[in-house]
Structure 1
Amino acid sequence: MSASPVRPFAPTWLGVPADANALDASVWPSDAVRDAAGVISLGGIPATELAVTFGTPLYVLDEDEVRAHARRALAAFRAATAARGARARVYYAGKAFLSAEVVRWVGEEGLAVDVCSGGELEVALAAGAEPFHLGFHGNNKSVAELERAVEVGVGSIVIDSAIEIERLAAIVERRGVVQPVLLRVNSGVHAETHDFLATAHEDQKFGFALADAPAAVARIRRIPGLAFRGLHCHIGSQIFGAAGFAESASRLIDVHAGLLAGGEVPVLNLGGGFGIAYTSADDPTPIEHLAEAIVDAVAAECAHRGIPVPDLAFEPGRSIVGQAGVTLYEVGTTKPVAVDDEHTRLYVSVDGGMSDNPRPALYGAAYSARIASRTSEAAPVLARVVGKHCESGDIVVEDEYLPGDIGPGDLLAVPATGAYCFSLSSNYNYAPRPPVVAVRAGTARVIVRGETVDDLLARDAGIPGNEGIA
Structure 2
Amino acid sequence: MSSAIETGLLPFTSEIRPEGLAVGGVLLTELAQRLGTPLFVYDEEHLRRRSREAVAAFGQGNVAYASKAFLCTAMARLAHEEGLLLDVASGGELRVALHADVPAGRIVLHGNNKDEAELRTAMSAGVRHVVVDSFDEMDRIERLHAEEQLPPTRVQLRVAPGVAAGAHEAIRTGGNDSKFGFGLVGGTAAAAVRRAAGSPAMILEGVHAHVGSQVLDTSELAAGAAAVARFAAEARVHRLTVGGGLGVAYEAGQTVPSFADWAAGVRTAVRDAGWGGDVTVEPGRSIVARAGLTLYRVGTIKRIEDVRTYVSIDGGMSDNLRPALYGSRYEVFLPRRPRAPRPLRARLVGKHCESGDVIVEDAALPAELAVGDLLATPVTGAYGYAMASNYNKLPRSAVVFVSDGRARTVVRRETEEDLLRLDVDEPAEPVAPPTTVGSGAGAARCVGTA
Letter matched to residue 317 of structure 1: G
Contact 1:266 1:311 in 2 (8 A): no
In the alignment, does 2:395 pair up with 1:432?
yes
**Secondary structure of residue in 2 paired with 1:53:** helix
In the alignment, does 2:18 pair up with 1:46?
no
**Secondary structure of residue in 1 paired with 2:300:** strand
Q: How far apart are the structure 1 equivalents of 2:73 and 2:173?
A: 40
Contact 2:172 2:213 in 1 (8 A): no
Tell me the matched-pair count. Answer: 424
In the alignment, does 2:396 pair up with 1:423?
no
Cα deviation code 1:297-332 (max 9, x no counterpart): 111111xxxxx5122110000011111111000011
Contact 2:243 2:282 in 1 (8 A): yes
Q: What are structure 2's unaligned runs of at least 5 residues?
A: 429-450
Structure-1-length-normalised TM-score: 0.86
- Residues 378 and 178 from structure 1, CA distance in 2 versus in 1: closer, same or farther, beyond 3 angstroms? closer
In the TM superposition, residue 178 of structure 1 has moved relative to its aligned partner by 2.6
In structure 2, the partner of 1:151 is 124
In the alignment, does 2:45 pair up with 1:64?
yes
In the alignment, does 2:251 pair up with 1:279?
yes
**Secondary structure of residue in 2 paired with 1:370:** coil
In structure 1, the partner of 2:12 is 30
Q: How far apart are the structure 2 equivalents of 1:323 and 1:198?
A: 22
Q: How far apart are the structure 1 equivalents of 2:342 and 2:212?
A: 39
Contact 1:31 1:42 in 2 (8 A): yes
Once the two structures are superposed, the pairs formed by residues 430-469 of structure 1 within 5 Å of their partners are 430-462=393-425
Q: How far apart are the structure 2 equivalents of 1:452 and 1:199?
A: 36
Cα deviation code 1:246-267 (max 9, x no counterpart): 222332233223212xxxx111
Q: How far apart are the structure 2 equivalents of 1:353 and 1:333?
A: 13
In structure 1, the partner of 2:322 is 359
2:221 aligns with one of 236, 242, 245: 245
1:160 aligns with one of 126, 130, 133: 133
In structure 2, the partner of 1:106 is 79
Cα deviation code 1:417-439 (max 9, x no counterpart): 11101011111111000110111
In structure 2, the partner of 1:93 is 66
In structure 2, the partner of 1:310 is 277
Once the two structures are superposed, the pairs formed by residues 329-368 of structure 1 within 5 Å of their partners are 329-338=296-305, 340=306, 345-368=308-331
Contact 2:42 2:401 in 1 (8 A): yes
Q: How far apart are the structure 1 equivalents of 2:204 and 2:371?
A: 59
In the alignment, does 2:190 pair up with 1:214?
yes
Cα deviation code 1:17-72 (max 9, x no counterpart): 2xx3xx423211011222112x2112111111111211100011111111111000
Identity rate, percent: 44
In structure 1, the partner of 2:442 is none
Contact 2:221 2:245 in 1 (8 A): no
In structure 2, the partner of 1:403 is 366
In the TM superposition, residue 284 of structure 1 has moved relative to its aligned partner by 1.4
- Residues 377 and 203 from structure 1, CA distance in 2 versus in 1: closer, same or farther, beyond 3 angstroms? closer
Letter matched to residue 82 of structure 2: E
Q: How far apart are the structure 1 equivalents of 2:334 and 2:225?
A: 44
Contact 1:378 1:405 in 2 (8 A): no
Q: What are structure 1's unaligned runs of at least 5 residues?
A: 1-14, 79-86, 303-307
**Secondary structure of residue in 2 paired with 1:238:** coil
In structure 2, the partner of 1:291 is 263
Letter matched to residue 156 of structure 1: H
Contact 1:351 1:388 in 2 (8 A): yes
Structure-2-length-normalised TM-score: 0.90
- Residues 126 and 32 from structure 1, CA distance in 2 versus in 1: closer, same or farther, beyond 3 angstroms? same
Contact 2:320 2:388 in 1 (8 A): yes
Letter matched to residue 351 of structure 1: D
Q: How far apart are the structure 1 equivalents of 2:32 and 2:253?
A: 29
Cα deviation code 1:172-212 (max 9, x no counterpart): 334252311000110111111499x9999621111111121
In the TM superposition, residue 166 of structure 1 has moved relative to its aligned partner by 1.6
Q: How far apart are the structure 1 equivalents of 2:395 and 2:322?
A: 18
Q: How far apart are the structure 2 equivalents of 1:371 and 1:128?
A: 39
In structure 2, the partner of 1:228 is 204
Q: How far apart are the structure 2 equivalents of 1:292 and 1:371?
A: 38
Contact 2:207 2:240 in 1 (8 A): yes
Contact 1:194 1:241 in 2 (8 A): no
In the TM superposition, residue 401 of structure 1 has moved relative to its aligned partner by 1.4
Q: How far apart are the structure 1 equivalents of 2:166 and 2:254?
A: 13
1:327 aligns with one of 290, 294, 310: 294
- Residues 27 and 118 from structure 1, CA distance in 2 versus in 1: closer, same or farther, beyond 3 angstroms? same
Contact 1:376 1:403 in 2 (8 A): no
In the TM superposition, residue 379 of structure 1 has moved relative to its aligned partner by 6.2
**Secondary structure of residue in 1 paired with 2:214:** strand
Contact 1:88 1:312 in 2 (8 A): no
Structure whose alpha-carbon radius of gyration is higher: 2
- Residues 151 and 253 from structure 1, CA distance in 2 versus in 1: closer, same or farther, beyond 3 angstroms? same
CA RMSD in angstroms comes to 2.2
Q: How far apart are the structure 1 equivalents of 2:33 and 2:108?
A: 39
Structure 1 window deviating more from structure 2 (267-276 vs 210-219): it is 210-219
Letter matched to residue 430 of structure 1: K
Q: How far apart are the structure 1 equivalents of 2:271 and 2:23?
A: 42
In the alignment, does 2:151 pair up with 1:177?
yes
Q: How far apart are the structure 1 equivalents of 2:172 and 2:43?
A: 37
Letter matched to residue 203 of structure 2: A
Letter matched to residue 295 of structure 1: R
In structure 2, the partner of 1:77 is 58
Contact 1:29 1:324 in 2 (8 A): yes
Letter matched to residue 354 of structure 2: E
Contact 1:194 1:239 in 2 (8 A): no
Letter matched to residue 54 of structure 1: L
Q: How far apart are the structure 2 equivalents of 1:439 and 1:25?
A: 18
